[in-house]
Copies of this chain bind each other. A is one copy, B any other.
């Protein structure tokens, strides 16, 4: 099976997730500048989640750039990832509306953690299909970055019980770490085409 339709479906789902989040920023009834101030926490939550979904689309794009074909297991590992991504708008809205209170911040971290693990599972299923010595297998290597993210998420959730702001800051650290594009796959593709 070709990767085309899986990519198209994932693009559709991710495009909807990233866009419906904006519906959480409810249009205020008044028309004063102060109305916007009260929306600030929801807006910050939106920005963080937009960046996260953007990162996932970006990495998904890179991953399937290197993938050559898919099977039933890949389809389901991908739907599993989309499931956890689909819960980001809910967690994001809850966190923003409650001004970054403890439990919403913990839930947000938990959803990020599950996304990280779902992404890792998808990666392993793809590597199993293509082989450890395939372009994909070599490019990703030990997936250090992915493993570090999951560790930081776990620490962030634990430290959120000290202060939610510490947790939130650590979610930001992971986002910043991924904003630097995943050059591993690009490098390997360039190397391969140069061979």
Contact = CB atoms under 8 A, between A and B. Distances in A.
A19 interface: yes
A161 interface: no
A-side interface size class: 35 or more
Interface in A25-79: 25, 27-33, 35-36, 47, 50, 54, 57-58, 61, 65, 71-73, 75-76, 79
Contact of A103 (B33, B73, B89, B181): B33
Given A36-B107, A179-B76, A19 B18 contact: no
A132 interface: no
A155 interface: no
Interface stretch (A9-17, A120-128, A133-141): A9-17
Contact of A181 (B27, B58, B75, B93): B75
Interface string A105-116: 001000000000
B20 A20 contact: yes
B18 A15 contact: no
